[in-house]
Amino acid sequence: MVSQNKQREAGTEAKILNAARKIFQIKGLAGARMQEIADEAGINKAMLHYYYRNKDQLFQAVFSEAVGRIFPIIVQILSYEIPLFDKIRIFVKEYIGILKENPYLPGFVLNEITQHPDKFMELFFDNGIEFPKIFYDDINKAIEKGEIIEIEPLMLLVNIIALCVFPIVAKPVVKGIYNLTEDEYNTFLEKREYEVADFIINSISLKK
């Protein structure tokens, strides 16, 4: 009986998080209402407050889940002890793959960066996110060896992430401009895994 109750509670909490993720993505933290989230989850508001006392607490749970999904993988890839260009190719492929499976993440995060930058950074640091030093060392070593142009590691990382994220965030625009079906759009994203990596590598490589 205890086990069944725990499973039921876990199922209810999962429904709450899924509903909150959807509402927060559409309306952001300020615009979301606990009643809307309860309705989306198919529970009453009292039940929602049993699991999460207030909206901020629920938002932090959703954000922590999102961070927990994506950033450990990013950090792990950047920590690989492999050649820089191989690392870039793996990073782009895996990152776009994550975004394809979780298309709500970029919009969700960008919305909160815009509306609540201080709160976002507070949650970011509270989750212990720190990009590995080895990635920056890889870039600086490649510069010293004359393999790539002089570029700040942070600039390179931002360039890579931006090129990966934009087609996901701008999905309606990309599909609309080129009149793509859902299957064609997915094929487009698969091509991006190679196009982005090639573009980045060609833009920094000194060995043409």
By residue count, the chain amounts to: 208
pLDDT for 91: 94
> Which has the closest alpha carbon to 131: 167, 109, 161?
161
Q: Quick: pLDDT tens for 103-123.
A: 777 777 777 677 777 777 776
Give 90 or 99, the one with higher predicted confidence: 90
d(CA 150, CA 144): 9
Can you give 102-121 as a three-state secondary structure string?
CCHHHHHHHHHHHHCHHHHH
Give 121 or 3, the one with higher predicted confidence: 121
* 8 Å CB contact between 54 and 80: no
Q: Delimit the CATH 1.10.10.60 region(s) of the chain.
A: 1-53
Give 106 or 7, the one with higher predicted confidence: 106
d(CA 96, CA 149): 25
pLDDT for 99: 86
pLDDT for 147: 95
pLDDT for 160: 95
Token digits of residue 111: 């919305």
Q: Delimit the CATH 1.10.357.10 region(s) of the chain.
A: 63-204
What is the percentage of the chain residues whose pLDDT exceeds 70?
A: 90
Mean pLDDT (the chain) is: 86
Geometric angle at alpha carbon 181, from 177 and 184, rounded to 5°: 95
Give 31 or 129, the one with higher predicted confidence: 31
CATH topology of domain 63-204: Tetracycline Repressor; domain 2 (1.10.357)
pLDDT for 8: 67
CATH 3.40.50.2300 fits 1-53, yes or no: no
pLDDT for 70: 76
**182 contacts: CB under 8 Å, gap ≥ 6:** 175
> Which has the closest alpha carbon to 188: 203, 202, 200, 173?
173
On the question of pLDDT at 184 being above 90, the answer is yes
Q: Please give the average per-residue pLDDT across 163-169, as a whole number.
A: 92
Give 133 or 148, the one with higher predicted confidence: 148
pLDDT for 2: 45
The number of helix segments (H) and strand segments (E) in the chain equals 11, 0
* 8 Å CB contact between 110 and 169: yes
d(CA 109, CA 93): 20
> Which has the closest alpha carbon to 30: 114, 90, 136?
114
The listed range with the strongest mean pLDDT (19-23, 118-122, 133-137, 147-151) is: 147-151
Token digits of residue 207: 């060995």
Tell me the one-letter amino acid at 139. I
pLDDT for 43: 94
